[in-house]
Amino acid sequence: MALDIVSIPDGRILLESNAQKPLVPASLVKVLTTYAALKSLGPHHRFETIVYSDQGLQGDTLPGNIWIKSKGDMFFTGEKAWKTAHRLKALGIERIGGDLVVDNHYFAPSVERICIDEHCSRAYNPIISGTALDFNTITFTAVPGAMAGEPARVTWFPRGKYVHMKNESRTVRGRPGENLHLRSLGVEKDGREQFQLSGEMSLSSQEPWEFTMNVQNPPAFFGHSFKEILRETGVRVQGEVRAGTVPPHARPLVVHESEPLGDLLFGLNRFSNNFMAEMLLKTLGAQVYGEPGTREKGLRVLEAHLLGMNIPPSQFSIASGSGLSRTCRASPRVFSNVLLDLHHDFHNGPEFIASLAMNGHDGTLRRRLRGSPVVLRAKTGSLRDVVAFSGYVHAPGQGLFAVTVLLNDVKNSWEAREALYHFLQELPYRLNEP
């Protein structure tokens, strides 16, 4: 165990144990990624997704291709794609004569799977790409067939021809619930991905079955999904979906800007979104050191900010933006420095604090210390054998504290978390005992 507790705002060390010892912090790494991004880009930075063309409009037709390239927008959702399509429609475009080309070269490698403990197919192991849609995930929904013996009826969102569904499921009588299984069979030669649905679903099932999966070919997924959105908007793409590079002579047709970074951090930290954190790290590298964005460039930015606070390099070794790694190390004192610095930073601090989960209300702390007078604004972290906490702890009349606790080699995670939050509940009062 390692912990560090300092008073706010003076930074006095009130309690420490192995405070300078680097341990596995799990998702607490997102605090460090957030810190570097706020310091480098500022809370008002917006991420662009741009649609390009190299031809002028002829009547209602845009001859030739359109290209789409995002600059690392980590929250480009189906809703944003719809708005972008409607803006193209508003230009008077009803037909695109060429192909829909997705430029996915903002990052290197252009597609990367972040994986821990070899469970790569699980949804929390994100697939990162510079041009991404809906966190590079697709959601499948199944309901029973019209009668026993028929396959379950399956749909997916975002819609489009990216999915090649091999439906081997079966609707059955008299068995409540469902026993469906979905797996990817891989990317086919045309760039689409084949999925296999198997198992049984009861004819009497009242609730639809839902499952979310990462896609293996993000550019094709983005392109097919956006082509379908354009079609439903009233813009027909004559050509194919393919990957490529925006030519130098192409000009922007539509520029979509994301919400400000400060707003996006709400989802990243409160809900510990691994995809957003890894996207942000690479985008940070591209913004500071130039395209393409890489993990190494992003880590250089992060490390420079920590060293700029005179934190000894022996106290940290960061290998990812999300903490989805067992090679990341950081000491509690690293987090104390960051929490203290942001509390004194009126430009970035309020956005950071607002991004943190709050006990009894939202995010990863919504079920913790409900009804307690103690207020936590913090980031939590967990792996199979890691329990971690870093943030601000306050109780009326007791002061404000920056608290970081790192527990490694945990045998029983449930017991460790219960003990941790009991400790945090009592902490403000214990620190003020005479």
The string of DSSP codes covering 296-350 is HHHHHHHHHHHHHTT--GGGEE---SS---SS-EE-HHHHHHHHHHHHT-TTTHH
Mean pLDDT of the 384-408 span: 96
What's the pLDDT at 206?
A: 84
Looking at residue 233, which CATH number applies to its domain? 3.50.80.20
Residue 127 near residue 218, CB atoms below 8 Å: yes
**227 and 196 inside one domain:** no
The pLDDT of residue 346 is above 90: yes
**239 and 343 inside one domain:** no
Residue 389 near residue 380, CB atoms below 8 Å: yes
What's the pLDDT at 116?
A: 75
The pLDDT of residue 178 is above 70: no
CA-CA distance, 123 to 80, in Å (whole number)?
22
Beta strands in 188-315 (DSSP E): 193-202, 209-214, 236-237, 241-243, 251-257
Q: Is residue 129 part of a domain?
A: no
CA-CA distance, 256 to 140, in Å (whole number)?
27
Residue 287 near residue 106, CB atoms below 8 Å: no
Q: Which two tokens stand for residue 394?
A: 């306050």
Which of 127-141, 178-192, 203-217 is the most confident on average?
A: 127-141
Distances (CA, A) of 323 to 46, 218, 347, 381: 24, 23, 26, 8
Q: Which residue, chain included where needed, has tokens 């929250």?
A: 75
Q: Is residue 102 part of a domain?
A: yes
Residue 19 near residue 331, CB atoms below 8 Å: yes
CA-CA distance, 359 to 376, in Å (whole number)?
6
Mean pLDDT of the 52-80 span: 96
**285 and 269 inside one domain:** yes
Q: Is residue 125 part of a domain?
A: no
**148 and 251 inside one domain:** no
Q: Show which of 257, 287, 311 is a domain's final residue.
A: 257
**100 and 206 inside one domain:** no
**278 and 338 inside one domain:** yes
**79 and 190 inside one domain:** no
What's the pLDDT at 44?
A: 97
Span 236-257, pLDDT tens digits: 999 999 999 999 999 999 999 9
High-pLDDT (> 70) share of the chain, %: 97
Q: Is residue 207 part of a domain?
A: yes
**12 and 149 inside one domain:** no
Mean pLDDT of the 63-92 span: 97
Q: Is residue 140 part of a domain?
A: yes
Q: Is residue 36 part of a domain?
A: yes
Exposed (0-12), middle (13-18) or buried (19+): which is 433, by Cβ within 10 Å? Answer: exposed
Total domains, the chain: 3
Looking at residue 333, which CATH number applies to its domain? 3.40.710.10
**229 and 203 inside one domain:** no
What's the pLDDT at 255?
A: 98
The pLDDT of residue 275 is above 70: yes
Q: How many CB atoms are located within 10 Å of the residue 208 CB?
A: 16
Residue 28 near residue 379, CB atoms below 8 Å: yes
**300 and 384 inside one domain:** yes
Residue 15 — very low, low, confident or very high, per pLDDT cuts 50/70/90?
very high
What's the pLDDT at 35?
A: 98
Residue 84 near residue 302, CB atoms below 8 Å: no
Span 103-155, pLDDT tens digits: 999 999 999 998 876 666 666 789 999 999 999 999 999 999 999 999 999 99
CA-CA distance, 226 to 27, in Å (whole number)?
32
What's the pLDDT at 158?
A: 95
**392 and 281 inside one domain:** yes
Q: Is residue 345 part of a domain?
A: yes
Q: Show which of 191, 214, 237 is a domain's final residue.
A: 214
Cα atoms found within 13 Å of the Cα of residue 129, Cβ hemisphere only:
28
Q: Which domain holds residue 177?
A: 134-214
Could you write out the three-class secondary structure of 114-183? CCCCCCCCCCCCCEEECCCCHHHEEEEEEECCCCCCCCCEEEEECCCCCEEEEEEEEEECCCCCEEEEEE
Mean pLDDT of the 413-424 span: 96
Q: Is residue 124 part of a domain?
A: no
**239 and 106 inside one domain:** yes
Q: Show which of 197, 214, 231 is a domain's final residue.
A: 214
Span 347-382, pLDDT tens digits: 999 999 999 999 999 889 999 999 899 999 999 999
Q: Residue 218: name the closest of 196, 191, 199 by CA.
A: 191
Q: Which residue, chain included where needed, has tokens 């891989």?
A: 186
CA-CA distance, 126 to 122, in Å (whole number)?
8
Q: Which residue, chain included where needed, has tokens 């004559």?
A: 238
CA Rg value for the chain? 24
The pLDDT of residue 175 is above 80: no
